[in-house]
Amino acid sequence: MMKPIKVGLLGIGTVGGGTYTVLKRNQEEITRRAGRGIVVSMIADRDLDRARSFADSDVVVTDNAQDVVSNPEIDIIVELIGGTTIAKDLILGAIAQGKHVVTANKALLANHGTEIFAAAREKGVIVAFEAAVAGGIPIIKALRESLTANRIEWIAGIINGTANFILSEMREKSLPFAPVLEQAQKLGYAEADPTYDIEGIDAAHKITIMSAIAFGTPVQFDKAYIEGITKLTQEDISYAEELGYRIKLLGITRRAAKGIELRVHPALIPERRLIANVEGVMNAVVVKGDAVGATLYYGAGAGAEPTASSVIADLVDVTRMQTADPMHRVPTLSFQPDLLSDTPILSMKEVETACYLRLQVVDKPGVLAEITRILADCDISISAVVQKESVGEGDLVKVIMLTHKTAEKNTNAAIQKIEALPVVTGQVTRIRIEELND
């Protein structure tokens, strides 16, 4: 048996700790699978006491990550620090030294993946990132390898556990957004600053990476359309339910006639779809391929050991493949790097979706006719109208409309015209509908 491969761990927080624990616990099996041992021989973390509490006596512990990157003994760097500044320098440094890299850093790859992958290609090293998308769910491997016969048509995923937990609680307990967010923070599901999770940025990082692999394009996070869940009301969640839908924060990427859709926003999904029933902090991704049809990947999208599961799978892959000629490895983005396509990412106004519209109008004859005329003028047809009880103040009444698919720019124009009507009070609430059946 060959001598063990040496790993340098940068960051021993939740995922780093899980990685160290699982690697040690399953050492025998991992060695039998990889053909040689995989051992952490250095750990860098600012919290030396925490690092020492994990480390065995023969592991070098330091608070300077640069020491690990420049140590010639280390074969693979595992970057679990996060962020896009220090982590970027460390990863590029490791690549320059000819070391392979395993990372869980979705923000870094979504923003700087093109540069990092190019650097790795030049040095003939591997950058593996299964843990960057959907925690323990092996979705990157599924897209890069298992589904490689398919022309991928679309991907739709619940890929942020914090947001999904909040929406699940709002629905089940009929609560507004703010107290549920507070509860998520108390339970440790949401950070003290939850912006990335609730504003959809984290989900957008992940769908950007999946989109690049599915369609063979460069990573283009700056082109993603991003809308979070902070404006969703419990009222809309229950109205949606009455109509047979669940509201979920979805990351969506789809091959359309004029380009690729890349978007994150809340969406009504028919409750009979499996993905509509994914609750709490769980993640799920549906991938539709032309040959295979729709496939579903479900599991824990975060957490110490689920994410460690993906980190270690990458370590095993790198260990098996590191001696392979770089030309014979699975390409980072599944497509050969010189054959990436320059298909444009569509701007949101060009994307076609069906919509749920909620508006408050004065309860008098002819109002609906006026609104439907505006919709017709904007090339929007209606699939359902529900009128709710009058609200009392000056006899205002709530109207819910479901529209058929139309270009977003049409819906935007219609909303603007409807809001300008004297018989309409306040703003129109628009939530997109994703049937996920085509």
| Domain extents in the chain | 2-136+304-339, 139-300, 352-433
Q: Is-above-0.85 flag for pTM?
A: yes
Pairing of strands 152-158, 245-256: antiparallel
416/354 Cα distance (integer angstroms): 17
CA–CA distances in Å: residue 366 to residues 218, 269, 370, 420, 429: 51, 32, 6, 16, 21
Q: Which pLDDT score, from 0 to 100, does residue 241 have?
A: 95
Q: What is the pLDDT along the chain (438 residues), one digit of tens a residue?
A: 688 999 999 999 999 999 999 999 999 999 999 989 999 999 999 999 999 999 988 999 999 999 999 999 999 999 999 888 999 999 999 999 999 999 999 999 999 999 999 999 999 999 999 999 998 999 999 999 999 999 999 999 999 999 999 999 999 999 999 999 999 999 988 888 999 999 999 999 999 999 999 999 999 999 999 999 999 999 999 999 999 999 999 999 999 999 999 999 999 999 999 999 999 999 999 999 999 999 999 999 988 999 999 999 999 999 988 777 777 777 777 677 777 788 899 999 999 999 999 999 988 888 889 999 999 999 999 999 988 877 665 688 899 999 999 999 999 999 999 999 999 999 999 999 999 986
Residues pairing with 226 in the sheet: 264
Residues in the chain: 438
Domain 2-136+304-339, what architecture? Answer: 3-Layer(aba) Sandwich (3.40)
| Distance (Å, whole) CA 427 – CA 418 | 9
- Tokens representing 173 are 């307990």
Instruction: Report domain 139-300's class.
Output: alpha beta
Burial of 270 (C-beta count, 10 Å sphere; 0-12/13-18/19+): middle
Tell me, what's the pLDDT at 392? 61
CATH topology of domain 352-433: Alpha-Beta Plaits (3.30.70)
Q: Is 141 in the active site? A: no
| Phi, psi of 10, deg, nearest 5 | -100, 105
Identical fold, 139-300 and 352-433: no
C-beta separation of 8 from 42 below 8 A: yes
**Of 99, 106, 206, 288, catalytic:** 206
What token pair was written down for 357? Answer: 């519209």
d(CA 432, CA 355): 4
pLDDT score of 364: 84
Indicate the pairing of strand 282-289 with strand 293-300.
antiparallel
